[in-house]
Structure 1
């Protein structure tokens, strides 16, 4: 085993790589948006116009609809069949081989569309789990519940190696996945059932695993109401909050700005520092946050800070509640911090009063 060396970050000048997740239903603009962003990334990475864009197409060569608009596209028709016409499916190892080939070709950016085939397609993870479970139970349905985890124990490591390969890729990757509408609770207008890949306030369910969603540099879900716009932001770092406006379609400039950040350039770090400052002001309460917002510094920061304004308002309201009454009685808030609701507290106090009454009047 070689010597372990911790390297000062000043010596690390290699650009980072991006892994961007775009999910959405039909008609949300995933393919076109991915190509626009890829163009911006490729041109920024290479420093030249027309830099190649790698495109892995699992959807019957759908990307070729855009070949006139994107002549720099380098297309790979990724089907469930091998060169001899045999069915081989979309297993994890085939995707790893594709990424290996993209790196060998020194492509600055690679689009995987649709990566949902790796999860729910023929030979994908769900299919592999089903066939493995069938083998383990030998067709005995009564054993499936007990042996489902054993089947996952065989399949998940293969998929995890694919996710790790994406994370460690030396090329930038844009991953497109399908999303399906989620059943809504008619009363709350939120999702009827939550999972690790499904937020209660997002009415779409990506056809992929949570491991993929949360390994991305950025993960957004597009909505048919605003094609190309990052309406539902599942994972967006502060560095990209101002860049990804839910009201504005993503495009070439988005890709350029994200690639600049990966190269250690651009305004992303300065924007993050502004958002951190705004959060610290909000934690001081509504009055102090409002005073800062109206100051010269706050006015200059508003275009960036507006991207998280709802979160800041919630922080300020929480701070107001936490400090209510403390100026007059420093123990007031602590006395009420017992985890009880007002109704539960009133019921408990009534029971205590009744008990004291009985103690004082033995008869």
Structure 2
């Protein structure tokens, strides 16, 4: 058995790597934003301007439209067809080879655009699943529902190895994916149907798997109404919340600040501590939070705390509800444990349906 050693964090000085996801429809500025952010990251990693940016281009060399603005770009034309005209597709193993090559070349940052091909392109995950399913059913459509999970069991581990390769990459990676508009409910203006990759308040559905989206250091969806701006912030660590303004385009400075955090520099950790302090104050209720907000300490914290104001308001409101009860009567002011409002606080629509069905069955049996 090998020797397992737990290392004190004070001995670990290697910089962290970033994995940034940018998703959006056509005209949202994914490519240009990725290049700007990559420039900032590369300059911090290497300590010099004009550091190389690796670019994996699946879009018929579209990135070359920006070669005059980004002469430091190191371009790779990643096509579904090889030089001999044979279809090789966008299978997981090819993407792993690309990341391996970028590390061997010593590139400080790598852009994958568009990584949607790994999911829905020729030889991508969905294509591999369909091909595997055809083989397992031998053309018998009546067996497809039965064998679908078996097909996924063959394909998903290959894709999961690719995701793991991205997470463990020794170079910084920016992943661009396409997004499609989502049908919304006319009355509520929310998405008619939520999925693992689709939040009810975000009208875009990334052409990617949820495993990828939530493995990212940062994942945002861009919107055509504000190109380059992180309008829909799907996953953003506290350290980066103050960097990402939904009304301000991301750029080289955004990349620099993120890279400085990864190197253990900058003020991202201090910003996280400020957000944690604001949350602690909000847990004391609305009045206590308002008093702190108007104090000298609160005024200094405002620029950072405003980035999570909706969350702080929700915490303070919940704190008010939690304190409206008499210690001698644990149910006073709280209502029944089965009140709709109380039960609905933590229930998904599916859980709500199951809950109501269970209550109906109890009523019938009674």
* Fold match (TM-score > 0.5): yes
Q: How far is the alpha carbon of 1:333 from its aligned partner?
A: 3.6
Q: What runs of 5+ residues in structure 2 fail to find an aligned partner?
A: 344-366
Q: State the match for 2:335 in structure 1.
A: 336
Relative distance call for 1:24 and 1:341 in structure 2 (3 A) is closer
Q: Distance in 2 between matches of 1:341 and 1:144?
A: 40
Q: How far is the alpha carbon of 1:55 from its aligned partner?
A: 0.1
Cα deviation per residue 1:87-122 (whole Å; 9 max; x = unaligned)?
010000000000000000000000000000000000
Q: Distance in 1 between matches of 2:189 and 2:340?
A: 25
Select the structure of larger CA radius of gyration.
1
Counterparts of 1:263-342 in structure 2 under 5 Å? 263-326=263-326, 331-333=330-332, 336-341=335-340
Q: Distance in 1 between matches of 2:76 and 2:311?
A: 43
Q: How far is the alpha carbon of 1:171 from its aligned partner?
A: 0.2
Q: How far is the alpha carbon of 1:322 from its aligned partner?
A: 1.5
Cα deviation per residue 1:107-139 (whole Å; 9 max; x = unaligned)?
000000000000000000000000000000000
Q: How far is the alpha carbon of 1:334 from its aligned partner?
A: 7.2
Do the aligned partners of 1:323 and 1:333 also contact (CA within 8 Å) in 2?
A: no
Q: State the match for 1:223 in structure 2.
A: 223
Do the aligned partners of 1:15 and 1:262 also contact (CA within 8 Å) in 2?
A: yes
Q: How far is the alpha carbon of 1:254 from its aligned partner?
A: 0.2
Do the aligned partners of 2:324 and 2:333 also contact (CA within 8 Å) in 1?
A: no
Q: What runs of 5+ residues in structure 1 fail to find an aligned partner?
A: 345-363
Q: Distance in 2 between matches of 1:78 and 1:71?
A: 19
Q: RMSD over aligned Cα, in angstroms?
A: 1.5
Q: State the match for 1:191 in structure 2.
A: 191
1:20 counterpart SS class: strand
Q: How many residues align?
A: 343
Q: Distance in 2 between matches of 1:341 and 1:179?
A: 35
Do the aligned partners of 1:322 and 1:333 also contact (CA within 8 Å) in 2?
A: no
Relative distance call for 1:335 and 1:24 in structure 2 (3 A) is closer
Do the aligned partners of 2:285 and 2:319 also contact (CA within 8 Å) in 1?
A: yes
Counterparts of 1:191-270 in structure 2 under 5 Å? 191-270=191-270
Q: State the match for 1:359 in structure 2.
A: none
Do the aligned partners of 1:24 and 1:177 also contact (CA within 8 Å) in 2?
A: yes
Q: Distance in 2 between matches of 1:314 and 1:172?
A: 35
Q: State the match for 1:66 in structure 2.
A: 66
Counterparts of 1:155-194 in structure 2 under 5 Å? 155-194=155-194
TM-score (norm 1): 0.92
TM-score (norm 2): 0.92
